[in-house]
Structure 1
């Protein structure tokens, strides 16, 4: 049995009762009513105009919106004392010095593997969430969803509810209408400028940049990037909206490829809702012993959808799993004194079980989710250990290649190396260089053999080093950097060659 996920949400189709099995395929669609019309928030060729809704899921989305925006706008102003000669901004991407500051951690270009591991961990977490509840990230915490919700809130406050906004589309311009449009776009631009400006704060010291903005001393580069980011926010959240989630973002396509029928996604219990008819007709049908569904075809679930789809037609790759249709449907069911959950977070397997009268089964904990969770924990542990064991200095050695060895007149053999000491801390570090593994004379060009080598904060020192062996032999050699007390703090291995 193959499963087909509907991908065309730009128009609404009628499907006859029982349609869904043809040519050996089971269509993942709900039987659609035999009468009535869909009330789509998308006007013909126009934008999606979603209706506001109240309910527990909407309140949760408002809470997440406040938290995520709070974190985004406040984080650049959080301070972190790293000592002298180091920036005190908790999160800072310092392009000038090639470093990323994350609280106590300082990530250099040499630590790129840590960023790669963190991105891999985020991917595993995203796949795990998908296996549990589909596009939950998209519906609640994705920046596109958060800022679109914020822009829609401004639009509702300025222009009115959905019905009024639909009337405004294509209506003649009046003084009131012009004032509404100007006010809405002015507020959108202020939000966009605040968003773009805040993003710049992550790349430079936030209080200093605010001071420059207030005094009109902002650099042309910073101003350009702020306007670029502001324009991106204004365009994507104000106009593109659901088009980003459906066509521009690659995740819906990946979601379709890894769709899990056991995941708790937003679904319509068609076995309970069909046939659709008004509450009055349903009461009459039931009185006569005829079947009648709980769905009254009010279209509330469609009207509140920010993407413009009808979840009653079955799983759709464009659905962001925001659950607003759940709130809308539950509100209608409560008014009709019918049980909630006609549209709900439910696995597709349980929808199929419900159709044949089998009890529902929750399989959130299964081999797939256990494996993904263990992989996330293992990768998180590796990253944590790597951060803890990361040193504030690095010693690297490169053997000269041409020639690799020089035979001296007394019969001894000399090898030359380039030794680099990198200081990743914000304080001066002092080292003495020594070798182990071979009986050879160490010479540092320009330095006495036992001299102390000082490396400036966030700096490096490159040394030209030679090793001379009286009784030459091929052997491994270990270069060691000693601290003031004589302990080995850094080491690197290379090879002494006798040819």
Structure 2
């Protein structure tokens, strides 16, 4: 009887292999630098831009004013009841993602995703302090913690922490006046929520951009799975032209393909994958492997494009001897992407039209139903209504209140003998009004009478209306 040792259960978790991308030069790397500078510049600078909106209004160009339930974007002011503008922008963002993914694959992940941008910045700082790939590998493999390794690690982590702190600090400036909040933060007088938010964002940026990096994209982010469903055989992604590169071999081998197995494409990849193994979920289509391969092809005097943007449908076309297809005609301008473009443009135009035709005054009417009506001493029937008058102007305006639709009804404004009220600048005012029907009139003795409230801005003649119903005695 033979004894067989039981097999140890296989681990379902693969330990992370640290990735140390090599520095590379090229068009795609330059494009990533430009996008990084622009996006980070917008993020850090925007809260400090000023915009004169007049007295009693914040002068921060972009502000999410949660306390007053308002969103300011330069000259645009979005009120709570106008949330459909935000919904429209989210729809445009979704359609834009569909458009770019169907045309260029995971181009958002490779160039503009915050995780990618901040990870790029952290890797750049790491390279400045510890050196390029080989130097960082040697430092990583060094088991002994000497003074030099400790010094480099501490300096790197402090630089990362400063970037993370600036990231968390910049975020909270979007929700209140930036100069005032900065002063309160420095003097330790800010609200605890501000410190908590900065602390959480600092910690997540430090950990995600400095240590987890590609793990966030692979395991935490849902977009690799979702975007994979948006792509088709005509979608441009980064691929390896194995019909050109195989079999791999030395540069002087006449039987070998163009690929000399230099591993340059692998060494520059921030996700640590080999693009020559085919399409992989981890690939974020950043294009750095293209720059690395083109650099090698230039040194060998061979044609560029061994690694490049191509679609699944291009393989059979190019292996049959044809020249590569036109990117714009066969991959960008096709029915699917044109449909997304049209839908995206329609939503955008609709939002612009709604923005420019929206009134600067607004009115909502709520009848007071307890009691439904009141009979006065002279037999007059009175209904009470609560009007919310919204003045979006930067100065106080006088609003006149009137009604039409029933000749025997008249309106009385509570608290003033006049037919108008002064509404403060950029505020919503609750005003109670009474609508009365004389004794014996059709509205008084009837059941329900429809009428219309009108509110007019006496400064410029803008008018809005809302329909309502008068409750009579029902005799």
TM-score, reference length from structure 1 = 0.85
Residue of structure 2 equivalent to 1:254: 226
Q: 2-side partners of 1:385 and 1:122: how far apart?
A: 18
Contact (CA 8 Å) 1:255, 1:317: kept in 2 or not? Answer: no
Corresponding position: 1:149 with 2:120: yes
Residue of structure 2 equivalent to 1:265: 237
Contact (CA 8 Å) 1:64, 1:141: kept in 2 or not? Answer: yes
CA RMSD of aligned residues (A): 2.1
Corresponding position: 1:374 with 2:351: no
Corresponding position: 1:494 with 2:450: no
More off after superposition, 403-412 vs 292-301 = 403-412
Cα distance per residue 1:196-225 (max 9 Å; x no partner): 111111112122233334445444332222
Pick aligned residue for 1:467 from 435, 448, 453: 435
Structure 1 segment 32-71 matched on structure 2, within 5 A: 45-71=16-42
Pick aligned residue for 1:443 from 375, 394, 412: 412
Q: Which runs of 5+ in 2 are unaligned?
A: 1-13
Contact (CA 8 Å) 1:134, 1:259: kept in 2 or not? Answer: yes
Pick aligned residue for 1:347 from 303, 307, 311: 311
Cα distance per residue 1:270-292 (max 9 Å; x no partner): 11111111213x32x2xxxxxx3
Corresponding position: 1:74 with 2:35: no
Residue of structure 2 equivalent to 1:127: 98
Residue of structure 2 equivalent to 1:140: 111
Corresponding position: 1:360 with 2:324: yes
More off after superposition, 382-391 vs 317-326 = 382-391
Q: 1-side partners of 2:38 and 2:429: how far apart?
A: 45
Corresponding position: 1:297 with 2:261: yes
Secondary structure of 1:460's counterpart equals: strand
Q: 2-side partners of 1:389 and 1:491: how far apart?
A: 15
Residue of structure 2 equivalent to 1:456: 424
Deviation of 1:480 after TM superposition, in Å, equals 0.8
Residue of structure 1 equivalent to 2:393: 425
Residue of structure 1 equivalent to 2:61: 90
Pick aligned residue for 2:167 from 186, 191, 195: 195
Q: Residues 299 and 223 (structure 1 numbering): CA distance in 2 closer, same or farther, change over 3 Å?
A: same
Contact (CA 8 Å) 1:480, 1:488: kept in 2 or not? Answer: no
Query: What is the aligned residue count?
Result: 448
Secondary structure of 1:279's counterpart equals: coil
Q: Which runs of 5+ in 1 are unaligned?
A: 1-42, 286-291
Contact (CA 8 Å) 1:412, 1:471: kept in 2 or not? Answer: no
By relative contact order (CA 8 Å, sep 6+), the higher-ranking structure is: 1
Q: 2-side partners of 1:81 and 1:409: how far apart?
A: 54
Contact (CA 8 Å) 2:412, 2:419: kept in 1 or not? Answer: no
Contact (CA 8 Å) 2:402, 2:419: kept in 1 or not? Answer: no
Structure 1 segment 206-285 matched on structure 2, within 5 A: 206-280=178-252, 282-283=253-254, 285=255
Contact (CA 8 Å) 2:164, 2:206: kept in 1 or not? Answer: yes
Q: 2-side partners of 1:394 and 1:125: how far apart?
A: 32
